[in-house]
Structure 1
Amino acid sequence: MPIVLAVLAAVLVLAVAIVVPVVLATDDDAEADDQATAAEPDTSSLAAVEEYDGLTNQHVAPGEEPDYPQSPPVGGDHAPSWLECGAYDEPVPEANAVHDLEHGTVWLTYRTDDVDAAGVRRLTEALPANGILSPYDDQAAPVVITVWGRQLELTGPDDPRIALFVAQFGAGDTAPEPFASCNGGVDPADLPPAGGPVV
């Protein structure tokens, strides 16, 4: 009997020595997979779009720069002048770009340290006619797409959600003046440094 018990104890110790590391490794792999999945956003839907309602839309005094809580801003009080549609290679004044958002414009922004020249070309090609593209380094994601009251952080210029977002929100339905367009706006180079109206 003591020999049988000793053999059973040895088998049990051996089984624990083999099974426990395998179970722990499986748990580690599952946790790593979960973390990788959590780090990679779902690029097949617009589920991550942030919504901001109740935005004010008054003109501020010439030269006044509103303090926007989002980067880039999604709406709010803004400059009396809006920007002409198109792709800009320099940052544009926020208060003027917000006026464009009020007109139903799509604003695509990118971080210059994350998006190269080829990426900027792809973003320019994805830009709708009623759209503005500009660098914006003070944002969390490599690329951000914004309309009045709606914003989505993107993984980069090839993120398929750009087209989904434009199809869903590009008509300007969330904006106070959805059919005003960015056409007829000013060139940022013609604006005073504070972003006030052209004098």
Structure 2
Amino acid sequence: MARKRAARPLSVGRPRPWATIAAFAVVGTFTAGIIGYGVYASSLADRPWTDKLAAIDGITDYVAQKPAWLTQQHKPGSLPYEVTPSVGGDHNGAWQNCSGTVYDAPIATEHATHSLEHGAVWVTYRPGLDAGQVRKLADRVQGRDYTLMSPHDQLTSNVTVQAWGYQLAVDSADDARIDTFISAARVKAGPEQGAPCSGGNTATGTTPQQGGQQ
């Protein structure tokens, strides 16, 4: 009589922890994304300031387009400018104080242009702009060396931002491009980097003040 073979136990595989695997996959993807963005952000931070300005949508680069306009002679009295507000050119011997100074009235272009030469960023806004908008602009400037701000009577947009050779026009103080512009251009755009912003003219009014620093 043949002996019966003992039944072999069925092999039952352990269930795969799909939920855990999926969780790890999500975490891995998220972590890789953070690392990737960090590398990208780092590469942006390392870019030259001129590249950062060039990447701003709507910016006008007069350094590239009209370099002949960006003369640097000291001349007295009222002077003509190719761009309103000015982005460079001959100017008075006295600069406009630009140690984070917020002016509540228009200032002389001839002094402000000298400030741009020193590396200042000049924020201008249309008179009558909503007070909340003006406050947001002032918060970017007040107490921040190599910046100044004033209303300007001849703007075609609500806000413009100027550095030596560069200009950006926007409709709102909430526009993030303003911050990008200031961060990239402040100090660095001026052909006389390191020249002071303190000790300049503090008077308002569009008529240039005679005398002052050279």
Give the paired residue count: 150
Determine helix, strand or coil for the equivalent of 1:80: coil
Structure 2 Cα separation of the partners of residues 155 and 75 of structure 1: 23
Per-residue CA shift, 1:42-69, capped at 9, x if unaligned? Answer: xxx61311011221011003xx211101
1:52 and 2:62 correspond: yes
Aligned position for 2:157: 141
Give the CA deviation at 1:197.
2.2
Counterpart in 2 of 1:18?
Answer: none
TM-score by length of 1: 0.70
**Equivalent AA in structure 1 for residue 75 of structure 2:** V
Match 1:155 to one of 147, 152, 171 = 171
Q: Distance between the aligned counterparts of 1:194 and 1:46, measured in 2?
A: 32
Write the letter of the residue equivalent to 2:56. L
Equivalence for 1:178 = 193
SS of residue paired to 1:107: strand
TM-score (norm 2): 0.65
CA distance in 1, matches of 2:80, 2:212: 21
Which residue number in structure 2 is paired with residue 129 of structure 1?
Answer: 145
Moved runs in structure 1, 4+ residues, more than 3 A? 191-195
* Alignment RMSD: 2.0
Q: Which residue identity is paired with 2:140?
A: A
- Code of the residue aligned with 1:126 in structure 2: it is R
Could you tell me how far apart the structure 1 residues matched to 2:198 and 2:115 are?
9
Extract unaligned runs of 5+ from structure 2: 1-54
Residue 89 of structure 1 corresponds to 104
Residues 111 and 208 in structure 2, CA contact (< 8 A), matched pair in contact too: no
How far apart are residue 174 of structure 1 and its match? 2.4
Instruction: State the alpha-carbon separation in 2 of the partners of residues 118 and 47 from structure 1.
Output: 25
The structure with the larger Rg is 2
Distance between the aligned counterparts of 1:48 and 1:69, measured in 2?
19
Aligned-partner residue type, residue 196 of structure 1: Q
